[in-house]
Amino acid sequence: MDRISDLPDGIVIRILSFLSIDEAASTSVLSKRWRDMFAFTPHLHLSLTKPRKFLPFVDHRRYFMDFVDRVLAVSGNSAIKSFTLKCRLGVGSAHTNRWICNVLNRGVLDLHLDAKAHDPLIFEVFACKTLVKLKLTRFEIPMLPVNASLPALKIISLHFVKFYNLDAFEKLISACPLLEELIMIYIAWELWKCSHIFSCPTLKRLTIGCIGFSVELGSMSFDNPNLVYLEYSDFVQLRYPVVNLDSLVEAKLGLTMKEGGPDNCDPSNLITGLRNVEILNLLCPETVEIYGIFHEAMPVFANLLHLTITSEVDFCSSVSSLPSLLKKAPNLHTLVIKGFLRHDNPVSDCECFLGCSRLSSCPVKVLEITEYEGSIKELDQMKRFLEELSCLELVKVCAPAKDDKEKLRLSTDLLMLCRASSKCEIKVEFS
């Protein structure tokens, strides 16, 4: 017996909402009752990013436009909670604007728009009273309307978005009185002023990825007193005049010096502004090096409990600047090393952070190594970790292994090492 057909429409629509739009639409062949039911799901995710295999000789754009028109026409004025529209093959702004306006008038809460290229975005988006989450990809924002107001918006995600001027961006942020999270990846700016400030008293999470990758370096300020999470990857700017991040709990930094750039870049104020973090992730060796270069400006990270660093092929050169940071972290509990322990020089001659100074007073209790291959030099490096970190209680090692014989060798070598701490336990996981 078909029990689903006897269910009320609301429950059937709820079930269909867990399927992709194509899967839900395919149920229309079951019966007349099911023909249009998929269109009433509160979560519509429509995508035209690549030709459909089941329509090799059909105009895919025409099929997609007819399909979207049908879905929105059949569903009438039913509420839409989330709406995704991806049109990377291009269908024309006249069609996309009509669809967007239709959805905005239905009280949409979550809107994700992905255009073919840098299409201009219609003003109606910036005056929607119901939007809680907005994600824009590959759009141009030349200006904002005078009545720009997004009173319910809490999350904005901008990917490959082009602003014609900084005023448009600042007006967008000021139009969101409840904004809590801002994500910006590869943002392009016209008439770049080489001076910008991210200021928002309500903001709690901020992600910046490669802003200003094609412009001259300038100054950047962070005036976000309630921010708890910061992810920032970019070239180091000339100055960071204002850094107000007193509530910050977690920071992920991927900072590098611009090749051929000026020698007077100074991130000291930014480093100082991170003094209250509890979780710090240095995403690349260049960022670790920057901390070493500006060690004199480095504050005491009294709250820092969890530190992650990334190592490349030569472990010693990747972390050679780490001692200055470890000395400023008196309460560090967990140290994670992502990458390799391999290095070119003999361990006895290396200048990595274990070779620079004795770390018997280092408070680290948990050490995690993510890519351990078990070479002689790596084993020697692990030996020094275990002999010098006297507070260790747990060492977690992730290692690749071809077979059981290799697993046994790696595990045995590690478990046979002497340890400064009698409490130290070694756990090996294989990938």
Per-residue pLDDT tens over the stretch 168-181: 888 999 999 999 99
Do 359 and 389 form a contact (C-beta atoms < 8 A)? yes
- pTM for the predicted model, two decimal places: 0.85
Q: What is the pLDDT of residue 366?
A: 96
Run of H or E residues at 229: strand 229-235
Confidence of residue 8 (pLDDT cuts 50, 70, 90): low
Q: Hey, is 348 helix, strand or coil?
A: helix
Structure tokens at 31: 């019966």
Between CA 120 and CA 143 the distance in angstroms is 10
Confidence of residue 1 (pLDDT cuts 50, 70, 90): very low
**How distant, in Å, are the alpha carbons of 100, 132, 153, 391 from that of 128?**
11, 10, 9, 55
Between CA 116 and CA 42 the distance in angstroms is 25
Q: Residue 139 above 80 pLDDT? A: yes
pLDDT digits (tens, 9 = 90+) for 298-308: 899 999 999 99
Q: What is the pLDDT of residue 211?
A: 58
Between CA 284 and CA 299 the distance in angstroms is 21
Q: Residue 424 above 80 pLDDT? A: yes
Q: What is the pLDDT of residue 253?
A: 95
Task: Please state the separation of Cα 135 from the chain's center in Å.
Answer: 14
Between CA 136 and CA 150 the distance in angstroms is 15
Q: Residue 420 above 80 pLDDT? A: yes
Structure tokens at 84: 């995704």
Mean pLDDT lowest among 38-42, 221-225, 372-376 = 38-42
Sign of the torsion formed by the C-alpha atoms of 190, 196, 199 and 203? positive
Q: What sections of 305-403 are H helices per DSSP?
A: 315-319, 323-327, 353-356, 376-388
**Biggest CA-to-CA distance, the chain:** 78
Between CA 379 and CA 359 the distance in angstroms is 18
**DSSP code, position 239:** B
Domain range summary for the chain, segments of one domain joined by +: 1-41, 302-431
Q: Residue 235 above 90 pLDDT? A: no
Average pLDDT on 173-194 reads 81
Do 298 and 326 form a contact (C-beta atoms < 8 A)? no
Structure tokens at 358: 């004795």
Q: Give the chain's radius of gyration (CA, Å).
A: 27
Backbone angles phi, psi at 313, to 5 degrees: -60, -45
Q: Hey, is 388 helix, strand or coil?
A: helix
Q: What is the pLDDT of residue 408?
A: 93
pLDDT digits (tens, 9 = 90+) for 299-337: 999 999 999 998 876 666 556 667 778 888 999 999 999
Mean pLDDT lowest among 7-11, 53-57, 72-76, 86-90 = 53-57
Q: What is the pLDDT of residue 70?
A: 81
Confidence of residue 5 (pLDDT cuts 50, 70, 90): low
pLDDT digits (tens, 9 = 90+) for 352-373: 544 445 566 789 999 999 988 8
Closest CA relative to residue 399, chosen from 388, 383, 412, 389:
412
Confidence of residue 220 (pLDDT cuts 50, 70, 90): confident
Confidence of residue 138 (pLDDT cuts 50, 70, 90): confident
Closest CA relative to residue 254, chosen from 230, 288, 282:
282
Structure tokens at 342: 């391999």
Compute how many other C-beta atoms are within 10 angstroms of the C-beta atom of residue 422: 7
Average pLDDT on 122-139 reads 93
Return all residues near 273 (Cβ < 8 A) that are at least 6 apart: 222, 240, 243, 244, 245, 248
Between CA 381 and CA 310 the distance in angstroms is 16
Q: Residue 121 above 60 pLDDT? A: yes
**DSSP code, position 403:** S
Q: Residue 56 above 50 pLDDT? A: no
Sign of the torsion formed by the C-alpha atoms of 355, 358, 361 and 366? positive
Closest CA relative to residue 91, chosen from 59, 121, 123:
59
pLDDT over 70 percentage in the chain:
76
Q: Hey, is 140 helix, strand or coil?
A: strand
Q: Residue 35 above 50 pLDDT? A: yes
Between CA 393 and CA 283 the distance in angstroms is 25
Compute how many other C-beta atoms are within 10 angstroms of the C-beta atom of residue 408: 11
- β-partners of residue 231 are 207, 252
**Concatenated DSSP letters of 30-78:** S-TTTTTGGGG-SEEEEEESS--TT-TTS-HHHHHHHHHHHHHHHHTT-
pLDDT digits (tens, 9 = 90+) for 62-71: 777 887 888 8
Q: Residue 164 above 90 pLDDT? A: no
Between CA 350 and CA 353 the distance in angstroms is 9
Between CA 62 and CA 24 the distance in angstroms is 20
